[in-house]
Amino acid sequence: MIMVSTKMNIAQLTTEITQGEGYVMLPDLLSRQETAAARDLILELARQEKQDNRLVVQENKERLYGLIYKGEVFAKLAQDELILSIIEAILGEDIVLGGFSAHILHPGAQRMGIHVDYPYWAMPAPFPKYPILEIQVIWLMEDFTADNGAPLFSPRTQNLATKPDIKQFEQTAEKITGTAGSAIISHGLCWHDTSENKSDRPRVSLLGNYTPQYVHPLENNLFDHQTTTIENSSPKLKKLLRHTWMSPDKPMYGMRFMQ
């Protein structure tokens, strides 16, 4: 896996994601203090939503949605300048935030299942290699270690543009470990999975799904939305959430077309 250095440029990183291993690690984008505070907030929000029967729970795994409106740090991470510059170099300038949620693996959580990302899993295989339809960002809300559920990626499988082959995946997958505050950027076609959480504490991550504007968003960005958050958002965030394209007077989204 490529670890970003100050000598690497955007073109090199995009090439690695699109034609190389299919993923890169950007280390230490967020301080340990900020990361720990965000992790604590995620766990507290999950506790509250579980009490209200609103949390999505599957065995020892939990998903928390609507995060953009539940903490300034989440809006900050969703529009991180370096990450967006890489994604826009791959998908184009008119990207949207198809989803931004927290994934909590509690002790004992088993593997999620080998998969490609949305929208590919909603399509019949073989998948189109171009245009690229999705880039995923995994924010590490704590150190990802060999035993706490770090993700597994099978290098270069984005070039195959097919559904995952279980046998091939098990033979080639790499466990991606890293430090809190880092981010993994991956091609949506690259086969991946979570590993088991064999530790004694929850492993928390944030998952960002970025797509071209013509892909229907995976998550509803109006879920739990707060009007004041939108009003105070940057133009970039409003665009990512499609709010700049929404109008009560027009029946269709506004879209920019290639010339």
pTM score: 0.90
Number of structural domains found in the chain: 1
In a domain, 252, yes or no: no
pLDDT at 259: 45
Residues 6+ apart with CB under 8 A from 114: 164, 166, 169, 191, 192, 193
pLDDT at 253: 55
Residues 50-65: tens digit of each pLDDT: 999 888 998 999 999 9
pLDDT at 219: 85
The amino acid at residue 236 is K
Q: Which domain holds residue 143?
A: 20-243
Tens of pLDDT along the chain (259 residues)?
666 554 468 999 999 999 999 999 999 999 999 999 999 999 999 999 999 988 899 899 999 998 998 999 999 999 999 999 999 999 998 899 999 999 999 999 999 999 999 999 999 999 999 999 999 999 999 999 999 999 999 999 999 999 999 999 999 999 999 999 999 999 999 999 999 999 999 999 999 999 998 998 888 877 777 777 777 778 888 788 876 655 556 555 555 655 4
Please, which contacts does 157-161 make with residues 24 or more away whose CB atoms are closer than 8 Å? 157/22, 157/189, 157/190, 157/191, 158/17, 158/18, 158/22, 158/187, 158/188, 158/189, 158/190, 159/19, 159/22, 159/129, 160/189, 161/125, 161/126, 161/127, 161/128, 161/129, 161/189
pLDDT at 244: 62
In a domain, 7, yes or no: no
**Under a CB-based contact definition with an 8 Å cutoff, are residues 207 and 103 in contact?**
yes
pLDDT at 100: 95
- Measured in degrees and rounded to the nearest 5, phi and psi for residue 15 equal -65, -40
In a domain, 250, yes or no: no
In a domain, 222, yes or no: yes
In a domain, 109, yes or no: yes
In a domain, 256, yes or no: no
In a domain, 213, yes or no: yes
pLDDT at 8: 63
Beta strands in the chain (DSSP E): 2-3, 23-26, 56-58, 61-64, 95-105, 135-140, 151-153, 174-175, 183-187, 192-194, 203-212
**Under a CB-based contact definition with an 8 Å cutoff, are residues 195 and 152 in contact?**
yes
- State the CATH number of the domain containing residue 232: 2.60.120.620
Residues 17-33: tens digit of each pLDDT: 999 999 999 999 999 99
Beta carbons within 10 angstroms of residue 218's beta carbon: 20
In a domain, 15, yes or no: no
Its sign, for the CA torsion 138, 87, 119, 69, is positive
